[in-house]
Amino acid sequence: MKNLILVTGSEGLVGSRFVEISQRKNFLHLPKEIELDITDKSEIKAVIESYNFSAVVNFAAFTDVGKAENEKDNKKGDCWQVNVEGVRNFAEAIKPHKERIHFVQVSTDMVFSGSSEDPGAYEESHPPEADSSKLTWYGFTKSEAERIVSEVLGNSGTILRLIYPVRSNFEPKLDYLRKPLKLYDEGKLYPVFSDQQISVTFIDEACRALDKIIIEGHKGIFHASSSDTTTPYELISYLVEKVRGVKDVVKTASLEEHLNKTGSSIYRYPKFGGLKVDETENKLGIKFSSWREIIDKLIVQGLGK
């Protein structure tokens, strides 16, 4: 079959929504992890050689940032194996066919440090942090994956970065909005940082951008994010007010104080984060919603019901 698209991680938070709303639904090849383990080099080579793919979208990743910290500097660990070696396997298998197969690597804002020396919000062209001591281990593995895509595939590979991806419902995994909302409903919502800059990705908009990238053959580095930045406090306060109709119930916390108190790394919760989307909007001819519009749209879709 022509125009077949291989999608890995299609049962995850983001990939499963892509499968639901892609205009190329009928062309998606969707192996589960047990059928295609991306860390298995020969399996990846075999699948690339066996089908007439026009694109490969790699959502598959080790995404538990906290767990990844326990594997810091361990290249034999699952995080490195999936996020780096898995991507290397794809890039090398696709290299001989790079004019036909468009490889899209789904990546993250966590390739940037979010520190005061190199603050966001980051443009698409901003260089990812290459110093592992200035990133989480998860962030470093994703940064290495980006480097490999560009080294092996040059201009024919594509990177799509996301940040705190959210959707109206997805039973298997909570996200940056549904988790605090659940905690609020249970009376367990923790105080929320009011001194951290973030943006959020509306998964539906990221999937529509991805569809355009594949269908129209756009290549390069793209961001899918709210068009503006906010703080976790502002975001969750607006969410709780809009969904549960209560104002001024969310308590604030200071990231700065939290770091001082716990001695955690400043790179674990990037203080000056966020992704800019101007270049992506111009290249794809689309507009991303603001973070308030995203919450409003998710509520229409049933968020919090």
Residues that bind ligand NAP (CB under 6 A): 8-9, 11-15, 33, 36-39, 59-61, 63, 82, 86, 106, 108, 142, 162-165, 173
CA 65-70-74 angle, to 5 degrees, is 105
Residue nearest to ligand NAP (CB): 12
Enclosing H/E stretch for 160: strand 157-162
**Given the complex with ligand NAP, which of 61 and 303 has the nearer CB atom?**
61
Considering the complex, what minimum distance in angstroms separates the CB of residue 222 from ligand NAP?
13
Alpha helices in 51-136 (DSSP H): 65-69, 78-80, 86-94
> What is the 3 state secondary structure string of 177-246?
CHHHHHHHHCCCCCCEECCCEECCEEHHHHHHHHHHHHHHCCCEEEEECCCCCECHHHHHHHHHHHHHCC
Across the strands, what pairs with 212?
Answer: none
Considering the complex, what minimum distance in angstroms separates the CB of residue 231 from ligand NAP?
17
**Given the complex with ligand NAP, which of 122 and 164 has the nearer CB atom?**
164
**Given the complex with ligand NAP, which of 126 and 187 has the nearer CB atom?**
126
Considering the complex, what minimum distance in angstroms separates the CB of residue 61 from ligand NAP?
3
**Given the complex with ligand NAP, which of 171 and 248 has the nearer CB atom?**
171
Considering the complex, what minimum distance in angstroms separates the CB of residue 9 from ligand NAP?
3
Buried b (16+ CB within 10 A) or exposed e, 13-44: bbbbbbeeebebeebbbbbeeeebbbbeeebb
Are residues 159 and 292 in contact, defined by beta-carbon separation less than 8 angstroms?
Answer: no
Considering the complex, what minimum distance in angstroms separates the CB of residue 247 from ligand NAP?
28
**Given the complex with ligand NAP, which of 228 and 241 has the nearer CB atom?**
228
Considering the complex, what minimum distance in angstroms separates the CB of residue 175 from ligand NAP?
7
Of 204, 194, 188, the C-alpha closest to 269 is 194
Q: How far apart are CA 186 and CA 281, in angstroms?
A: 39
**Given the complex with ligand NAP, which of 106 and 149 has the nearer CB atom?**
106
